[in-house]
Structure 1
């Protein structure tokens, strides 16, 4: 079955069974390596992508469910050579140890900021609650998320208004 997907702003066609996990299509057919295979059960967050700006677990989402929606991966967050504010904040805070969880952490914080530009620390914690980091860098990840709020606010103020 041939499906049309909008991934990182580009329409892409893939010939896969309708029930193939979106993660497999992104990684194997479209060579997008931002989302990671973690648990395969939608519980760890390593596979997170944005679907219409909201975080979704790509390992349990059939590709057919993403047809007609805007899919954004970590690979598509940067614009015009500029890192997304969340990506920049994670670099600034040195929030990575092994880095395997970072895709899920970054995509989850991006989704949160898409819907709440000034989340409280409690709201950030709640958003990240189901993202697992086995290395235990939760303190640095929280600091990065808090920094992302600041950088994102500055970027929104600098953006041209229509």
Structure 2
């Protein structure tokens, strides 16, 4: 991209905050390195921000909507308000259109932010984030963590070593 995008959508777990499986406890939220600086810089530049997150713990009966909302509220306490939160509560076997790697969450976030998917970047830590971005027509940036598979890194069109580095590759 030769200029900053209209919007940047972040995966939540493993991208903005450390991944705590099926977390409904806001006291267990801790930010990933560079999250404050990256989100803050994008906002200073006038780039709209949003979150797109699979939350299958709801569909699995392991999490409540209230627990997810409490974690999301804590994320916003630490990082400020996001323009949109798009969540998929479905079980992976439900076959919904929203669960990443399908494009539903990304498309819904773009509609909520009134931006074109082709002018949107999706930053995530696994292949499903990359695939959802591509399926929606957005630009994917993979920021690997120890749980990211080597094959996901190898097939990602754009890889950044951390969130701060992602800023450099999205313009």
TM-score with structure 1 setting the length? 0.28
TM-score with structure 2 setting the length? 0.27
